[in-house]
Structure 1
Amino acid sequence: MSSTHRFRALSLTALVAASLLAGTAMAQAAEKITIMVGGFEKQIYLPAKLAEGLGYFKEEGIDVELLNEAAGVDAENQLLAGAVQGVVGFYDHCVDLQAKGKFVESVVQFSQAPGEVELVSAKNPEIKSFADLKGKSLGVTGLGSSTNFLTLYMASKAGLKAGEITTIPVGAGGTFIAAMQQGQIQAGMTTEPTISRMVKTGEASVLVDLRTLDQTRAALGGPYPAASLYMEKAWVDAHKEEVQKLANAFVKTLAFINSHSAAEIAEKMPKDFYVGDKEGYIKALDAGKGMFTPDGVMPEDGPKTVLAVLSEFSKNVKGKQIDLSKTYTTEFVKAAKTN
């Protein structure tokens, strides 16, 4: 072969290799997935940051960016706007959105209980039950949020009529605490680690506890699938490979939670999540980690409990026919590779 032919052959080989590398880079870029989390620091959404901390996204070969949004209802809006591909938030958004003609589904179900608690300010010792909240202002993360619907549902079960309580959006964490300290709210629904922070200082006590499956059954009549990874069905159908990799990462994360102590899990979390009280963070996680599913599968009859709550208090859902089978899928978690 002449030197000219050899040069041309080498050039062609280099060109093919460059094309293959470019194609690979494009494929990798296509797998960049942005997920909005409805509050990084909330223990109910712990699997998101834990999966990242354990390196499970990288193991699956996907580039996942986690963004923080304090209220789940706002995270939902980001998904519908196309700003993110997925949301770590409450499953009930999937039901609520179907009533608006939008099909969103839970692809990994993180929890089978809300992980929420109704706290009562120590300034209101007369409040001993939900019925005593008549005429009071109650904090929720946002109007139209999961905490809002759950609060209204439990008030109704306690015999309170519409308008006898006022729900006020106060967010979570520091803003929730400030609202209670300043008397803006007399009670409110929130999650860990906010619960433990306020109980430890004596500023609040627990009125209704929804952190375990048994307590949730007693309060709501059944399991209440809450924290999940939900995505638009059209995106899921068009990106099954990426969704499967996400499911693999999250199912491994749930298995890690199920097989490790709260202290071991806490070590994998960002240290600022402890809010200066690592011991309290671990104690709260130890008490509440039973809320998480062991495998990401939707709990049986859970969607019916959610629909019962929303049918009473969501203007979108009330009176609508909802096909619950289209609000979640177990296709990916049941096919997940766990090792």
Structure 2
Amino acid sequence: MQRRQLITAAAVAATTSLLPALGRAQAIDKPKLTIAVGGKNLFYYLPLTVGEQLGYFKDEGLDVTVVDFAGGSKALQAVVGGSADVVSGAFEHTLNMQLKGQPMRAFVLQGLAPQIVLGINPKTMPNFKSVADLKGKKIGVTAPGSSTNIMANFVLAKAGLKPSDVSFIGVGAGKGAVAAMQAGQIDAVSNLDPVITLLTRSGHLKIVTDTRIVKEAERVFGGPMPAGCLYAPQAFLDKHPGSAQALANAMVRANQWIQHAGPGDIIKTVPESYLLGDRAVYIDGFLAAQKALSPDGLFPEKGAATAYKALSSVNPKMAAFKVDLNAVYTNALVKKALVKYPRKG
């Protein structure tokens, strides 16, 4: 009996001695964080909004401020400039930043596919037949240099066109983009939902390439193309591992919630301004985008290689650059998050 008590006491002591270490591993080293995003209202970033609106960041001990910009390139500039800590943006920016010698790393995925749609304006291009017809035309993108611009470049390149063969105009990711198409100020647009669904339903858009469909995105890019994600300077991840883990935990919960949510749940959760004045259009947009959102936050194994191939096809400097694909993303934080929040059937 005495031996059993000694063994029990030893086990308790050993367990207790581990607690401080476990506490340190989960410590929130920077609870107050700023996340920069370009087009927060887009379904592309729905997990970010869900995490914020449902209090998942607070549950992890974080005080997160989300600052919205006109496009992903502007959000990236905020982090580079030091006014934000983390970007909620397109995965391919991590590759571009490695090329510039400013290492950024993605650590939780939001989108399985880019969800970007390139379409033409039937009002200004009634006789459109192929992408080659876009030569000399004005194409609206969320912001120059953003993922919508990169996607348009890629589709143009496949048709033998260079970025200089067209004029790119920043129109944002909301009512400004809709108004530009309706007024005939642009001949085509590369944008996302709910903008795309609203334009399609009103007859102001003819879809050319639709990467809201995962299989279509893989066909266009030649493999899995990771999209929206949280990424940050490598220095931030090294200095604040606890905060980065907490962000990953919250986003994994948000990803999982979305996969089991119905249209009514989404309408109740997002701000009224996201609906662009039409709930039915927003619901249609959500149903179109839902399967293109990540169910678990994990980056596909071949995703970085696909993104590199796409960027290399339109950027000679990227093609000549010896990129370290393993340095632009990690699944380590998401794997830990999935232990805390296991996948639901």
Q: Normalized against structure 2, the TM-score is what?
A: 0.86
Letter in 2 for 1:273: Y
Shift of 1:39: 1.1
Quickly say closer, same or farther: Cα 1:161–1:67, change in 2 above 3 A. Answer: closer
In 2, the alpha carbon distance for the partners of 1:249 and 1:173 equals: 26
Quickly say closer, same or farther: Cα 1:30–1:307, change in 2 above 3 A. Answer: closer
In 2, the alpha carbon distance for the partners of 1:140 and 1:299 equals: 27
Letter in 2 for 1:43: F
Matched, 1:99 2:102: no
In 2, the alpha carbon distance for the partners of 1:297 and 1:165 equals: 36
Partner residue of 1:338 out of 318, 332, 341: 341
Residue by residue over 1:124-153, the C-alpha shift from the partner in whole angstroms, topping out at 9 and shown as x without a partner, is 121133233233221122222222221111
Aligned twin of 2:237? 236
Larger Rg: 1
User: Superposition RMSD on alpha carbons, in Å?
Assistant: 1.8
Quickly say closer, same or farther: Cα 1:28–1:242, change in 2 above 3 A. Answer: closer
In 2, the alpha carbon distance for the partners of 1:70 and 1:135 equals: 25
Aligned twin of 2:8? none
Contact 1:105–1:232, Cα closer than 8 Å, also in 2: yes
Give the aligned length: 313
Deviates further, 280-289 or 138-147: 138-147
Aligned twin of 1:135? 136
Aligned twin of 2:153? 152
Residue by residue over 1:253-301, the C-alpha shift from the partner in whole angstroms, topping out at 9 and shown as x without a partner, is 1011112223322321112211111121111101111111111110121
In 1, the alpha carbon distance for the partners of 2:66 and 2:113 equals: 23
Aligned twin of 1:294? 295
Shift of 1:28: 7.6
Q: Which runs of 5+ in 1 are unaligned?
A: 1-26
In 2, the alpha carbon distance for the partners of 1:203 and 1:225 equals: 29
Aligned twin of 2:201? 200
In 1, the alpha carbon distance for the partners of 2:50 and 2:163 equals: 40
In 1, the alpha carbon distance for the partners of 2:48 and 2:314 equals: 29
Aligned twin of 1:122? 122
Q: Give the match's secondary structure for 2:165.
A: coil
Shift of 1:159: 3.0
Deviates further, 175-184 or 185-194: 175-184
In 2, the alpha carbon distance for the partners of 1:49 and 1:148 equals: 23
Deviates further, 164-173 or 215-224: 164-173
Contact 2:29–2:240, Cα closer than 8 Å, also in 1: no
In 1, the alpha carbon distance for the partners of 2:283 and 2:179 equals: 24
Letter in 1 for 2:197: S
In 2, the alpha carbon distance for the partners of 1:317 and 1:283 equals: 37
Residue by residue over 1:186-207, the C-alpha shift from the partner in whole angstroms, topping out at 9 and shown as x without a partner, is 1010011111111121122212
Contact 1:100–1:316, Cα closer than 8 Å, also in 2: no
Contact 2:118–2:209, Cα closer than 8 Å, also in 1: yes
In 2, the alpha carbon distance for the partners of 1:207 and 1:314 equals: 23
In 2, the alpha carbon distance for the partners of 1:153 and 1:257 equals: 29
Quickly say closer, same or farther: Cα 1:36–1:309, change in 2 above 3 A. Answer: same
Aligned twin of 2:13? none
Shift of 1:161: 4.8
Residue by residue over 1:172-216, the C-alpha shift from the partner in whole angstroms, topping out at 9 and shown as x without a partner, is 222222332333321010011111111121122212111021110
Deviates further, 98-107 or 211-220: 211-220
Aligned twin of 1:84? 84
Deviates further, 257-266 or 241-250: 257-266
Contact 1:137–1:167, Cα closer than 8 Å, also in 2: yes
In 2, the alpha carbon distance for the partners of 1:321 and 1:286 equals: 39
Quickly say closer, same or farther: Cα 1:279–1:177, change in 2 above 3 A. Answer: closer
Shift of 1:162: 5.6
- Residue pairs, 1:166-181, within 5 angstroms: 166-181=167-182
Over the matched positions of the two proteins, sequence identity in percent amounts to 37
Contact 1:128–1:207, Cα closer than 8 Å, also in 2: no
Shift of 1:169: 2.5
Shift of 1:49: 1.1
Aligned twin of 1:321? 322
Letter in 2 for 1:47: P
Aligned twin of 2:35? 35
- Residue pairs, 1:150-299, within 5 angstroms: 150-161=151-162, 163-299=164-300
Contact 1:149–1:314, Cα closer than 8 Å, also in 2: no
Q: Which runs of 5+ in 2 are unaligned?
A: 1-26
Aligned twin of 2:49? 49
Contact 1:37–1:66, Cα closer than 8 Å, also in 2: yes
Letter in 1 for 2:240: H
Shift of 1:314: 3.4
In 2, the alpha carbon distance for the partners of 1:204 and 1:38 equals: 22
Shift of 1:227: 0.3
Letter in 1 for 2:111: S
Q: Normalized against structure 1, the TM-score is what?
A: 0.87
Contact 2:157–2:313, Cα closer than 8 Å, also in 1: no
